[in-house]
Amino acid sequence: MIDRRTALAGVAAMFGTALYAPLARAAGASGPVTTPVPAISEGPPSVAVFTPVQRAAMTALSERVLPTTDTPGAIAAGVPAYIEKLLADWSYPAERVPILAGLDAIEAKSMADYRVSTAKATPAQQDALLTLAMNDRITGGKTFFEAFRQLVIAGYYTSEIGMTQEREYLPVPGEYDGAFPYSKVNKVYSA
């Protein structure tokens, strides 16, 4: 089965040059690695990155980026833990600032507009908060949103759920059929 580092390299290719720096480092896209690199998924984060309020907001918002539908969402795929691990062990403190500041700004906006924390806001309210961030209508929103969305997508599509349930996983593909009707293609295949 494909490992997370190889999958991250594919995600790096998908995002191109605008890849969030910790993702690029974890995928090995930031240049040659001169020291042994630990596996991304091993062990807890080396430092606490989020406050409890930030962690709850990050968890709720990650589920809004990739919600549960007919396939599991970001929370079921372990995306919040992945984000915290990546930020703790693969980012420099300055690279965490846009994420942390964005979460704080969204939390302040949620309290001001809805009088509830982001984590307790309704899905529609959380979507509205993310839309404000995406459109840069919250301080530092656009910078936060682009990095956060990349973290969620990378975390999801490099997870076991993302690789095997969201996508069709065929470790050994079947025979070649050059006349296979496109209408019968159900999912995008990953290997």
For the entire predicted model, the pTM comes to 0.74
CA 19, 88, 55: angle at the middle one, nearest 5?
Answer: 95
What angle separates helix 4-15 from helix 141-157, to the nearest 10 degrees? 140
Examine residue 156 and state whether it is found in any structural domain, yes or no: yes
Examine residue 121 and state whether it is found in any structural domain, yes or no: yes
Which tens digit of pLDDT belongs to each residue from 84-127? 998 998 888 898 999 999 999 999 999 999 999 999 999 999 99
pLDDT-above-70 percentage for the chain = 72
Domain count, the chain: 1
Q: How confident is the model at residue 47 (pLDDT cuts 50, 70, 90)?
A: confident
Examine residue 43 and state whether it is found in any structural domain, yes or no: no
Tell me the torsion sign for CA atoms 11, 13, 16, 18.
positive
Examine residue 38 and state whether it is found in any structural domain, yes or no: no
Residue 5 above 80 pLDDT? no
DSSP 40: T
Examine residue 181 and state whether it is found in any structural domain, yes or no: no
Examine residue 10 and state whether it is found in any structural domain, yes or no: yes
- List CB contacts of 68: < 8 A, sequence separation 6 or more: 75, 76
Q: How confident is the model at residue 1 (pLDDT cuts 50, 70, 90)?
A: very low
Mean pLDDT rounded to a whole number for the chain: 83
Residue 108's closest CA among 116, 98, 99? 116
Predicted pLDDT at 166: 78
Examine residue 39 and state whether it is found in any structural domain, yes or no: no
Examine residue 42 and state whether it is found in any structural domain, yes or no: no
Which tens digit of pLDDT belongs to each residue from 140-189? 999 999 999 999 999 998 888 888 887 766 666 667 777 878 787 776 66
Tell me the torsion sign for CA atoms 138, 80, 91, 154.
negative
Q: Which domain holds residue 137?
A: 4-23+51-171+186-190
Average pLDDT over residues 21-27: 68
